[in-house]
Amino acid sequence: MGYQVYLRSFADGDGDGWGDLAGLRARLEHLAWLGVDVVWISPLYPSPLRDGGYDVADYLDVDPRLGSLEELGALVSEAHALGLRILLDLVPNHTSSDHPWFMAARGDRDSPYRDHYVWRDPAPDGGPPNNWPAHFGGPAWTYDDASGQYWLHLFLPHQPDLNWQSPAVDEAFADILERWLAWGIDGVRIDVAHALVKHPDLPDLPPAPGQGDEVEVTGGSGVGVEREFERYAHVHDADQPGVTEIYRRWRAIADRHDALLLGEVYLLEPQRLRRYVADQDGLHLAFWFAPLHLEWSPAAVRAALREGLEEVGPWLSWPLASHDRPRSATALGGGDLGRARALCLATLVCGLPGLPMIYQGEELGLTDVPLPHEVRQDPIAVRGEPERARDPGRTPIPWEPGPGWGFTSADEPWLPIGDRRPEDTVAVQRGDLDSWLQRYRALLATRKGLHGSVADEPVDWLAPDGPIVAYRRGPVVVAANCGQQAATLTLDGRHRIVRFASARAREGQRVAEELPLEPHEAVVLGP
């Protein structure tokens, strides 16, 4: 089971209001208790934090606000002793504009680092070289007065894209990966893994199907941010030939260290995602994000899970939420309805091949915090669309009731903790066997316990329609009622035991012919 730690909001060890490595170290035992195997830590490198650390100024060091290399080394040893593997977040698509490479490259066409980035002359009218939009609004190009050229950035101007046609960039990242793995890190989550390579001619993007021809990039005020981005068919700025070659080279490095390569390949079309993992000579796993984008219905849940598994294959990581999306309890209906749906999805995912990935706080059933616009820090807010900013899902974890909620001893955490209730906290939920936390823990333990009996078994989907989404895998049946009415799943008559149930009282029940499920009830049956 994977667990995403968004470090600045996880636990503050030194009392400055920021989550940090010391805080995470102190909570490693909690993660082991929960049943986690793999911990992915969001970027911890020195960074001007224009995009939450996804703007890296030094790939081989730790931001002093978050700790130090020594602290990270201690954390890795302690994690290993607890049976946890640690993944860092590698950001190879772009650096920070504060990275020494970019500082040397900017303004000097003859810099040895110039070719690390993508530079182009202005269009004949002086404007950007093509029509590409940036994810966070405005054009994907910014003009550099000193050298008279534009630089490319698929995200912020402060996140210049690296030029993966340059052998020097390729060598630099092979070296960065080798150094971290040799140092003791167990693998990497690879940011924007689908977009490192761009079409060499950088042609204009056509409009997305149904968008007409009149697509025009609006100014830097961030009008429509992601909506604007979605108006184009991204056929030249992502998923280009050559990108999987990079991961083939990395796989050789990873294999030498028995390390994991997990790609954030943000492609919702399974056939495109497939080529990143199908040959198993590059990435070990790729995230399948479709379940985070569904409009809840039994059919949509079933389709998102089946599509990933059947059209991509078993090499998936299943995010249950992420720092880029609303929390699942909020996205799936809010309150206890959203929490129950999230646990249904988690249960279904937990029996499938691949690596489910909990985003910190999902196991507590946390909802988004409705932050005032002025405290939001995400670049989407800074650039003019605070209502779409990702901060409400990134607020600090409430560990225990009381001042600072056990997250910090500082008066003010870096983002408000918000209006949490004592029953949202780890401390209270640990003491209540019916809490969300204890249910997630039971689910993870069931997953681990049954792993041996399902590992080589195919997934047979049981109910092609209706409110219950269910499958059998060897002797195990996983089922969730994702509809609004009670329903019954007819089984094969084999005697099974309820090993996990969202309603704890059902655990231990014997089931053979029929499995009745209330709305939003989820179970795992096993021998």
Tokens representing residue 342 in the block: 């999230």
- The least CB distance from residue 287 to ligand NOJ, in Å, is 10
- The least CB distance from residue 368 to ligand NOJ, in Å, is 16
Q: Is 362 a catalytic residue?
A: no
* Pair type for strands 187-190 and 141-144: unpaired
- The least CB distance from residue 360 to ligand NOJ, in Å, is 14
Buried b (16+ CB within 10 A) or exposed e, 99-136: bebbbebbeeeebebbebbbbeeeeeeeebbbbbbbbb
Which among 161, 264, 391, 424 is annotated as catalytic? Answer: 264
Cβ–Cβ < 8 Å for 527, 496: yes
Which among 191, 237, 239, 362 is annotated as catalytic? Answer: 191
Applying CB under 6 A, the residues found at the interface with ligand NOJ are: 51-52, 54, 91, 155, 191-192, 264, 323-324
Q: Can you tell me which residue has the tokens 């008279």?
A: 148
Residue nearest to ligand NOJ (CB): 54
Residue 264 or residue 391: which is nearer to ligand NOJ going by CB?
Answer: 264
Cβ–Cβ < 8 Å for 251, 229: no
Nearest to 7 by CA among 176, 162, 161, 189: 189
Residue 149 or residue 159: which is nearer to ligand NOJ going by CB?
Answer: 159
Supply φ then ψ for residue 72, to 5 degrees.
-65, -40
Instruction: Tell me the angle at which helices 270-277 and 243-256 cross, rounded to the nearest 10 degrees.
Output: 40
- The least CB distance from residue 96 to ligand NOJ, in Å, is 10
Residue 194 or residue 251: which is nearer to ligand NOJ going by CB?
Answer: 194
Residue 90 or residue 498: which is nearer to ligand NOJ going by CB?
Answer: 90
Q: Is 507 a catalytic residue?
A: no
- What single-letter DSSP state applies at residue 185? -
- The least CB distance from residue 321 to ligand NOJ, in Å, is 12
- The least CB distance from residue 158 to ligand NOJ, in Å, is 11
d(CA 483, CA 480): 9
d(CA 260, CA 365): 28
Residue 193 or residue 459: which is nearer to ligand NOJ going by CB?
Answer: 193
Cβ–Cβ < 8 Å for 202, 129: yes
Query: Which residues are catalytically annotated?
Result: 191, 264
